[in-house]
Structure 1
């Protein structure tokens, strides 16, 4: 029997509820890479199987995925910024780009309050993240 591990922080991804399945998966992968890149201490030790095959490390804690309407995403984004959380963002325009340079240029071209968000991800204190995603529901 293992002791339950209780995390004081939370990793959350919030997706627009109108995305196609492939878009949800793609956006989640991009967004969570931002969290891992910004906070490498969230990664655990590398994995290995019984034969000694090495595998990459993963997050030490669960990643919760939520969905919401456009207004929920906009409110969550505003709350994240207001609370000093630094989210990764994915805008609808990024589906038309094909590389990181063009992705960054597409986001930079739009004022914060006018971003057409389809997803965001954040890591932070559990209470702050819970307040940020208020109104969202767990992704089905």
Structure 2
């Protein structure tokens, strides 16, 4: 029997992997963009709306933690290959997106480059914990 005070355990994992050489503002920007796509395609990652004691309504958020990792360009490329190979939901952010200013241009920038040639600076992945852990092999928790 589950109680309100027992820790909640998740069989799935939401993870962001960032290239270690990004500037601080880039890390924050890339993370925000990457996780924004997960709730639209995977509704079960979204929890219930929040309210405060005055009944002010707030938007729902992810129902579980988002783990943020970092790695070299090579680690990121390998993780992307593994995630795509496992058919896990993946969001990508390439270096080209720093020069664009809207969704249309972002999508065009990614579309213009073959998968093997993407200059990835970040990715988000969702899936079973063990599968995501294998995808992230070689990455380390973001400091």
- TM-score band by shorter chain is over 0.9
Q: Residue 47 of structure 1 corresponds to which residue in structure 2?
A: 50
TM-score (norm 1): 0.98
Measured after TM superposition, the shift of residue 59 of structure 1 is 0.6
CA distance in 2, matches of 1:14, 1:71: 12
In structure 2, what is the Cα distance between the partners aligned to 1:18 and 1:138? 14
Q: Does 1:11 align with 2:14?
A: yes
Once residues 28 and 38 of structure 1 are traced to their aligned partners in structure 2, the CA distance between those partners, rounded to angstroms, is 17
2: CA distance between counterparts of 1:37 and 1:138?
26
Aligned residues: 140
TM-score under structure 2 length normalisation: 0.96
Find the partner of 1:56 among 54, 59, 72: 59
Q: Which runs of 5+ in 1 are unaligned?
A: none
* DSSP-derived class of the 2:17 partner: strand
Inter-partner Cα distance in structure 2 for 1:51 and 1:5: 27
- Displacement of 1:86 after TM fit? 2.3
* Counterpart position of 2:113: 110
Of stretches 38-47 and 103-112 in structure 1, the one that deviates more from structure 2 is 38-47
What is the root-mean-square deviation in Å for CA atoms of aligned residues? 0.8
Secondary structure of 2:93's match?
strand
TM-superposed deviation, 1:40: 1.7
Identify which of 60, 69, 72 aligns with 1:69: 72
